[in-house]
Chain A
Amino acid sequence: NAGVTQTPKFQVLKTGQSMTLQCAQDMNHNSMYWYRQDPGMGLRLIYYSASEGTTDKGEVPNGYNVSRLNKREFSLRLESAAPSQTSVYFCASSRTGNYGYTFGSGTRLTVV
Chain B
Amino acid sequence: LAKTTQPISMDSYEGQEVNITCSHNNIATNDYITWYQQFPSQGPRFIIQGYKTKVTNEVASLFIPADRKSSTLSLPRVSLSDTAVYYCLADQGGKLIFGQGTELSVKP
Contacts and interface: CB of A to CB of B under 8 A. Distances in A.
Interface string A82-112: 0000000010100011111111111000000
A29 B59 CA distance: 24
A59 B95 CA distance: 10
Measured as residues with beta carbon below 8 angstroms from the partner, the interface class of chain A is 20 to 34
A103 B97 contact: no
B42 A48 contact: no
B43 A42 contact: no
B99 A102 contact: no
B100 interface: yes
Contacts, number: 53
Given A41-B100, A42-B99, A98 B42 contact: no
Contacts of B98: 35, 42-45
B41 A106 contact: yes
A27 interface: no
A90 B43 contact: yes
B44 A101 contact: yes
Interface in B1-54: 32, 34, 36, 41-46, 49
Contact of A92 (B32, B42, B43, B101): B43
A31 B45 CA distance: 17
B92 to A, nearest CB: 6
Contact of A97 (B41, B43, B93, B95): B93
Nearest to B48: A100
Given A50-B94, A102-B46, 8 more contacts: A42-B98, A42-B99, A90-B43, A98-B34, A98-B93, A100-B49, A101-B36, A103-B44
